[in-house]
Amino acid sequence: MEMKQYIEEAEAALLHTYNRYQIVLDKGDGVNLYDMDGKRYLDFVGGIAVFALGYNNKEYNDALKNQIDKLIHTSNYYYNVPAIEAAKKLKKASGMDRVFFTNSGAEANEGAIKAARKYAFLKDGCNDHEIIALEHSFHGRTMGALAVTGNPKYREPFEPLIGHVKFGQMNDFESIASQVTEKTCAIMLEPVQGEGGLVPATEEFLKKLRALCDEKDILLIFDEVQCGMGRTGVMFAWQRYGVKPDIMTSAKALGCGVPVGAFMMTERVAQSSLTSGDHGTTYGGNPLATAAANKVLEIYERDNIVGHVQETAPYLWEKLDAILQKFDCITEHRGVGFMQGLVFDRPVGPIINKALEKGLLLINAGANIIRFVPPLVITKENIDEMVAILETCVEEEVCI
Ligand SMILES: *Cc1c(COP(=O)(O)O)cnc(C)c1O
């Protein structure tokens, strides 16, 4: 069947929750993707910050194939070796003490919220605790994760969500401190906002939040689903600031394509929050998913993926800065590591469409921002190729 015909069938069969680009992707290799017609695309999306190691990584693929031939699923009533190995590696990489594997980022955040509520419940026996989250945050599409997502457009049609959530502003400590009450059980945020527009927290902001949480025995939850796993040039973004959370979530690059997420916590929180019977999942932490996470974490450490980000991301920064200088329609360049954005004074959809035509995949973050979240193994040559295409697209589509 032709690509166009497949697209028509997709539109007839799938729920219309996405405005998809009009291509059917067929295979990937390194930082390149190919559609059904064999057209190549340089990929600066990485499946939305997922495919950190690039496509068709032989070692990763072999690890999965081996695991498929051994055992795919056991349920959590039994132990399995890949989950144990992955949990040990994740503890080491994250600085957290205990791990619960989930199937997605949203589910990891659900678990984090439940842990925080249980922690507060055990302290005072009440069940009216509040969470303070941030405007422009994104934590996922399930009812709990949506409740702490600071985008009214995503929330409103589905209300009432879980209640007792308030919103403060990124990098405005007072906007949060002023909303804290004796009912506040957690403050939850992304150390670098992704979907909300590539906005890094300042060190001062996070340090003040940490001190506030310590003083009032409030749990600090970091959602590192997007900014974690090496993307900002450290394994998890909090390590840049030296501000350690009590609970942390991960997903996206953790499985590099196999659905796996995790929420983690310190021993102190683990000792007085979720316990036997409080939480569970059928698939979560199954041998196939954790074999993926285990291999990903092994490759990260052995190949120093974080070092590559530290070395190569400044080059992307320099190149995008030059583009910012060149075009009046671009008003800001921000972000950190391989999580950068260019802010335009107009919707970026037409530029992204143009780039697709020219063999470059890009995504937006909000209507006016192009987000750059490439595979972490991207090279300077790949960056040069991307920048050349992007410049032509901006020239042709909009401004000078
Ligand atoms: C993508 C994302 C999520 C949701 O993850 P899913 O796997 O899509 O459920 C949560 N938080 C952040 C910061 C994300 O970027």
- The per-residue pLDDT for range 239-261, each reduced to its tens digit, is 999 999 999 999 999 999 999 99
Tell me: do 160 and 281 sit in the same domain: yes
Is ligand 1 within 6 A of the CB of residue 108?
no
Q: Does residue 210 sit within a domain?
A: yes
Quick check: helix, strand or coil at residue 213? helix
How many CA atoms, within 13 angstroms, populate the side-chain half-sphere of residue 186? 30
Tell me: do 134 and 267 sit in the same domain: yes
Name the residue of 139, 149, 339 to mutate for ligand 1: max ligand atoms within 8 A of Cβ. Answer: 139
Q: Does residue 63 sit within a domain?
A: no
Tell me: do 17 and 88 sit in the same domain: no
CB atoms within 10 A of CB 247: 28
Instruction: Give the residue from 303, 326, 352 where a domain finishes.
Output: 303
Domain of 378, in residue numbers: 3-57+304-397
Instruction: Give the residue from 239, 274, 303 where a domain finishes.
Output: 303
> Is the entire prediction scored with pTM above 0.85?
yes
Report the nearest-CA residue for atom 11 of ligand 1.
139
Q: Does residue 205 sit within a domain?
A: yes
Distance, in Å, from the CA atom of 361 to the CA atom of 201, rounded to the nearest integer, reads 27
Tell me: do 222 and 294 sit in the same domain: yes
Tell me: do 113 and 185 sit in the same domain: yes
Point out the ligand 1 atom lying closest to the alpha carbon of residue 227. 13
CATH of the domain at 357: 3.90.1150.10
CATH of the domain at 298: 3.40.640.10
- The per-residue pLDDT for range 158-206, each reduced to its tens digit, is 999 999 999 999 999 999 999 999 999 999 999 999 999 999 999 999 9
Tell me: do 155 and 225 sit in the same domain: yes
Beta carbons of 166 and 132 less than 8 angstroms apart: yes
Report the nearest-CA residue for atom 6 of ligand 1.
105
Beta carbons of 377 and 342 less than 8 angstroms apart: no
- Residues near 257 by beta carbon (within 8 Å), at least 6 away in sequence: 47, 50, 51, 292
Domain count, the chain: 2
Tell me: do 283 and 376 sit in the same domain: no
Low-confidence ranges of the chain (pLDDT < 70): 399-400
Tell me: do 297 and 313 sit in the same domain: no
β partners of residue 130: 184
Q: Does residue 381 sit within a domain?
A: yes
Tell me: do 145 and 257 sit in the same domain: yes
Tell me: do 264 and 317 sit in the same domain: no
Quick check: helix, strand or coil at residue 370? strand
Tell me: do 182 and 316 sit in the same domain: no
Quick check: helix, strand or coil at residue 80? coil
Tell me: do 90 and 221 sit in the same domain: yes
Point out the ligand 1 atom lying closest to the alpha carbon of residue 140. 4
**Residue 398, pLDDT score:** 75
Instruction: Give the residue from 303, 334, 364 where a domain finishes.
Output: 303
Distance, in Å, from the CA atom of 96 to the CA atom of 25, rounded to the nearest integer, reads 37
CA angle 101, 106, 112 (to 5 degrees): 65
**Residue 137, pLDDT score:** 98
